[in-house]
Amino acid sequence: MAEIQARLQALSEDYTKLQQELQAAIQSRQKLEAQKQENSNVQKEFERLKDGENIYKLVGPILLKQDKVEAESTVNGRLEFIGKELERTENQIKEIQEKVEKKKGEIIQAQAGLQTGGGAPAKVAAKG
């Protein structure tokens, strides 16, 4: 019975770690989605610009003039990178969720073993 309790404790700790990993992955996804939205807004602003209008990039405390083609290329590159990271993060979240569900099942089985293991000696004592 002590063995089942130790296994249940270990499973519970693993489950808690998986929950923390899942929460971190979800927060990462939220940050990426915010960055994607921000860069999409910048991309829309570029579309509204007329030829010859200036674009400035904030580098530290200084605004540097930037070529429109270069700025668009940078934003498009960021959006592509963010899209790939979002996809990777989504896959990571799915994997962690599957592990969480598997661990839940293991915990339920261990609890059932603990309940049947705890009930068996009581039956023996009642018969004796």
Q: Where are the domains of the chain?
A: 2-120
106-110 LR contacts (CB < 8 Å, sep 24+): 106/11, 107/8, 107/11, 107/12, 107/15, 110/4, 110/7, 110/8, 110/11
CA dist 121 and 103 (Å) reads: 28
Per CATH, domain 2-120 is 1.10.287.370: yes
Query: Cα-flanking dihedrals φ and ψ of residue 35, to 5°?
Result: -65, -40
CA distance 113 to 120: 10
pLDDT of residue 99: 95
pLDDT by residue for the chain (128 residues), tens only, comes to 788 888 888 999 999 999 999 999 999 999 999 999 999 999 999 999 888 889 999 999 999 999 988 999 999 999 999 999 999 999 999 999 999 999 999 999 888 877 776 544 433 333 33
Rounded Cα–Cα distance for residues 28 and 91 (Å): 12
- The pTM assigned to this predicted structure is 0.76
Which pLDDT does position 115 carry in this prediction? 79
Residue 57 φ/ψ region, left for φ over 0, alpha for ψ in the -120 to 50 degree band, beta for the rest: beta
Alpha carbon 22 to its chain centroid, in Å, reads: 5
Contact indicator for 101, 18 with CB cutoff of 8 Å: no
